[in-house]
């Protein structure tokens, strides 16, 4: 099932959480993205708050050539990078993969060159999702 918000897009997948996370990483790599950061939300809530939460990871994905180009257009772009991709277990037990919408995020800058780059990034992320 496709999922969309004003700031993200994604879908439910027919893979268990751990398999979906692995597959997301593989498909990101195929599209030229590396994972620069990862935050295990479930683990952090347990560690910092002593509270239990669903499986939920935030992967900070970066495509170095596209990031280089973006920095050439806007030095402060680092405040909006990397592109976050989340994998989590939904309320119904299904696995969900959501991606920050780069067009929505970079569109706030008002720089047409960055908007064009954001469209390219979005297309890559859409291909990643389609491969899951």
pLDDT digits (tens, 9 = 90+) for 30-56: 999 999 999 999 999 999 999 999 999
pLDDT digits (tens, 9 = 90+) for 96-124: 999 999 999 998 999 999 999 999 999 99
Q: What does the radius of gyration of the chain's CA atoms come to, in whole angstroms?
A: 15
CA distance to 15, 23, 67, 75, per residue, from 106 (Å)? 31, 26, 12, 13
pTM above 0.75, yes or no: yes
Number of other CB atoms surrounding residue 88 within 10 Å = 21
All structural domains of the chain, each given as residue ranges with its CATH number in brackets, are 2-130 (3.30.310.70)
Give the integer Cα–Cα distance in Å for 65 and 32. Answer: 9
């Amino acid at each position: 099932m496709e999922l969309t918000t004003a700031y993200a897009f994604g879908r439910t997948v027919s893979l268990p959480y751990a398999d979906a996370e692995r597959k997301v990483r593989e498909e990101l790599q195929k599209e030229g993205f590396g994972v620069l950061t990862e935050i295990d939300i479930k683990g952090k809530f347990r560690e910092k708050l002593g509270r239990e939460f669903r499986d939920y990871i935030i992967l900070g994905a970066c495509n170095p050539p596209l990031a280089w180009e973006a920095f050439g257009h806007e030095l402060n772009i680092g405040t909006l990078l990397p592109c976050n991709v989340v994998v989590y277990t939904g309320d119904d037990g299904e696995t969900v993969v959501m991606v920050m919408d780069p067009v929505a995020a970079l569109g706030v800058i008002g720089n047409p060159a960055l908007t064009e780059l954001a469209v390219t990034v979005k297309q890559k992320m859409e291909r990643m999702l389609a491969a899951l």
